[in-house]
Structure 1
């Protein structure tokens, strides 16, 4: 059995989070669904980053153990690193990669879909849930779906659109 890569784990997690979110959304549990749509988009995006850009999970310079977050050298300052965090942060972080061909392609391909998550925040899991409005959750569902479709197509084609 082939060894799964971190890209594979992110891809699997993306699909799992998306389908769990759909189940919860259908049951009217919008805060939990919203949270999982964000994680689905995040995981699919991280899988794309690892597959098609210079982003890595290797040990960071001067460290011995693999990174817990995807990272890349900052294009403007090789002494700085970009760490790719939660989906709301990916909007800004991916824009930093737009200097290279693959980074620019990914930034363009993800486009507005990532921007839908700009106000999503992982700390909302501790909130009462009143923030989760049906129209916002529906927009995030569509954006997460679009990112997953992009990911699946890129896997099939072996390249970004």
Structure 2
């Protein structure tokens, strides 16, 4: 794994989480499957951001160590946040929308917006819940959205460009 870029790690994790989610879903373990579909979509999105936009994992201004989250300087100079950090999948809808000003950001936002919206109510803290939130129809919608995002990622890698 040495020598791989973070976007490659994200891409690998996306595929692994998706396959594991399918395994769990087929076994009727919907809460765990739902959680992993969210992580699969998140990882594929972060890989796309690193490959096709100005988003980076470099040290943030004034820091020495590489960032633990993808980030970019906020393109809106009037906005109160100088940096945009890309967190969990439920936050990515809003964060990717902030990139929609540039050509690559606008293309990525347009391609991802509908599928990312499916994860608006997904949250990383659900791993601590009893699992009653994971209804079959919601998990199915999230699986489809994650699959679409992974397919977009795969196609973008093959074409070396966004749609």
TM bin (shorter chain): over 0.9
Q: How high is the TM-score relative to the length of structure 1? A: 0.97
**RMSD over aligned Cα, in angstroms?**
1.3
Q: How does 1:101-116 map to 2 (within 5 A)?
A: 101-116=103-118
Q: 1:111, CA displacement in angstroms?
A: 2.4
Instruction: Please list, as runs of the form range in 1=range in 2, the aligned pairs for 1:81-160 lying within 5 A after superposition.
Output: 81-160=83-162
SS of equivalent to 2:21: helix
User: 4+ runs of 1 displaced by more than 6 Å?
Assistant: none
> Tell me, which stretches of 5 or more residues in structure 2 are unaligned?
none
Can you list the C-alpha shifts for 1:37-84, whole angstroms capped at 9, x where unaligned?
A: 000000000000000000000000000000000000011138700000
TM-score (structure 2 length as normaliser): 0.96
CA distance in 1, matches of 2:101, 2:152: 21
Question: How far apart, in 2, do the equivalents of 1:44 and 1:149 lie?
Answer: 9
Aligned residues: 161
| Unaligned 5+ runs, structure 1 | none
